[in-house]
Structure 1
């Protein structure tokens, strides 16, 4: 599993001009899946996201996790994260999980997150989404399990 996480002051996802997910302070997480992902890799990513210390403490150091600042998650499926860009000028997607598998893993991941830390907002798998955010910092990280 590959995630791009951005610390945000606000973020939202629109589908067909309707907001389907929105948060204030928290993490906007783009989620990409690969063929060899498993339930264990999803759980590992969930734990990493919950404990990853990227919010500022009183001294301005990245020392706090999302739970400590009572932030929210906006989880957005994005198959292009697993693209093969090693050759030519057009990405290949043989390194991405097939859509039926990626959708099942995305749904499982959202459920895992909400079971442990309720209130995650989401995009819609397979939809043409418009994502807006205000990146706080900017702070952006790539996590891979």
Structure 2
């Protein structure tokens, strides 16, 4: 499972001229689910994302998490994070999970983080989305659950 996490002042997702998700101060997460992902990968992301200490404390050090600052979360499914462009000029997506699996894991991640008391907004799975991001810092972190195991 891969996630691009951006600390934002605000972020929103629009589908067909309709806002499907919108947050203020918090984290914008682009999430890619791999075919080989398991519950272990999901557990890692559910723990890591809301607890990642990338917000500044009173001394200006990145020492606070989304949970600490009471921030909001916008999660957008993005299979293109799993594109392999090492060969040729057109990325291959053979490592991306099938839509059924990807959507189930995406929805589970959203539900589990929301159950922690975090306001979570989403995009629309498999839709063409317009994503507006006001990155704060800029701070952008890449997480890959397979780089751990």
Aligned mates of 1:104, 1:6 — CA distance in 2? 23
In the TM superposition, residue 98 of structure 1 has moved relative to its aligned partner by 1.1
Match of 1:109 in 2: 109
In the TM superposition, residue 8 of structure 1 has moved relative to its aligned partner by 0.1
Aligned mates of 1:14, 1:28 — CA distance in 2? 14
Give 5+ residue unaligned stretches, structure 2.
none
Aligned mates of 1:116, 1:100 — CA distance in 2? 25
In the TM superposition, residue 51 of structure 1 has moved relative to its aligned partner by 1.4
Match of 2:91 in 1: 91
Between the two proteins, the alignment pairs up a number of residues equal to 145
Match of 1:49 in 2: 49
Contact 1:25 1:72 in 2 (8 A): yes
Aligned mates of 1:103, 1:44 — CA distance in 2? 17
Match of 1:23 in 2: 23
Give the SS at the match of 1:116.
coil
In the TM superposition, residue 72 of structure 1 has moved relative to its aligned partner by 0.5
Give the SS at the match of 1:35.
coil
Aligned mates of 1:19, 1:61 — CA distance in 2? 33
In the TM superposition, residue 107 of structure 1 has moved relative to its aligned partner by 1.1
Give the SS at the match of 1:8.
strand
Give the SS at the match of 1:68.
helix
Contact 1:43 1:112 in 2 (8 A): no
Q: Where do 4+ consecutive residues of structure 1 move more than 2 Å? A: none
Aligned mates of 2:26, 2:81 — CA distance in 1? 21
In the TM superposition, residue 118 of structure 1 has moved relative to its aligned partner by 3.5
Aligned mates of 1:11, 1:111 — CA distance in 2? 19
Aligned mates of 1:132, 1:119 — CA distance in 2? 18
Q: Cα RMSD (Å) of the superposition?
A: 0.9
In the TM superposition, residue 137 of structure 1 has moved relative to its aligned partner by 0.4
Give 5+ residue unaligned stretches, structure 1.
none
Contact 1:7 1:138 in 2 (8 A): yes
TM-score (norm 2): 0.94
